[in-house]
A and B are shown apart, each in its own frame.
Chain A
Amino acid sequence: MNDNHNIEKFFRDKFNQLIRPEYWNTPDDSIWENISSELEKKGKVKKLFHWMPFILGACIFFSGCLGYLFFKQKQEISNLETALFACKENQESQKFTSIDNQKEIKKVPLVQNIRQISKENTASDFHKNIPELRKLYQEMLSQKILRN
């Protein structure tokens, strides 16, 4: 071992030879068990990632449906509010003046109903009366009250 080059060669040769298990202590059996359980965990995560696009797709679909329903309901409430407002205005301007008696008879109970609901409910709990208002709204449309 006179020079550094020989030292390098000595160590390199020693480690590049075939390592026989009988000359070396083998790793503990628990190592393989740990590796195996680690791979198992990674496999499960991988499977979850495999399904992730489908799960995401389903989430997007359901949130889209919910959003659509919510939007539709909002629109309906807004329509009913508009109808109510229009009805109030109509009632003020048309008060038994230029309308013929037959029409008047039909409109009065409707307008009264809507006014009653309007008095009883604030804007925030307006949606609670949606079915009732919807019915009135349809009737108003059929009687052409809103178009006036």
Chain B
Amino acid sequence: MNPSLIKQCIAGNRSAQKELYESYKVTLFVLCQRYFNNIEDANDVLQEGFVKVFRDLHQYDDNKGHLISWIKKVFINTCLEKIRKKKLLFNQISESHYEVPNDADIISDLHLKDITKMIQSLPLGYRTVFNLYVIEGFNHQEIGQQLGISESTSKTQLMKAKNMLKGKLETILK
């Protein structure tokens, strides 16, 4: 990312901010949809996340990594805040709470959209731990701290999530 664009964004230049938004909106929309299986929540987090990014952009240090990594961290925290607000995290694990995606959509080709649908079909607790551990690369201790759960709960949730996804993939790839 062009350093002068970042400076302009910090200075509050709206067109520079829009340029940055346009560059990352799809990547971050995918991230939001991995955590939330309804579009309204994903849109809310996308909006809230970008406002935070523009508000705190002066804190970004380019020596510590790429801009997108920093932005992703802001978005992950925003997602987790929303999940914590919902207070549903580990209550939502009964089978009736998640929808199994229509196989016809998935079997055609395993595009990212389909993979995301599979993740979205997981209960919120499984999905959050899976996203944080597998995709974001957090360890169980960090996940426990972020979500206010024990390490062993995090491990159990991950194992159940992986078993569920494994079952779905096996069905598709048969």
Q: Interface of A with B (CB < 8 Å)?
A: 1, 4, 7-8, 10-12, 14-17, 19-21, 23-28, 31-32, 34-36, 38-39, 42-43
Contacts and interface: CB of A to CB of B under 8 A. Distances in A.
B43 A31 contact: yes
Q: Is the interface of A mostly helix, strand, loop or mixed?
A: helix
The interface size bin for chain B is 20 to 34
Nearest to A22: B26
B21 A32 contact: yes
A45 to B, nearest CB: 11
B29 A8 contact: no
A141 B59 CA distance: 70
Q: Is the interface of B mostly helix, strand, loop or mixed?
A: helix
Given A4-B159, A15-B115, 10 more contacts: A7-B165, A11-B130, A11-B135, A14-B112, A15-B30, A19-B27, A20-B26, A31-B25, A39-B14, A42-B51
B29 A27 contact: yes
B18 interface: yes
A12 B135 contact: yes
Nearest to B115: A14
Contact of B134 (A8, A17, A21, A24): A8
Interface string B62-102: 00000000000000000000000000000000000000000
A19 B112 contact: yes
A7 B55 contact: no
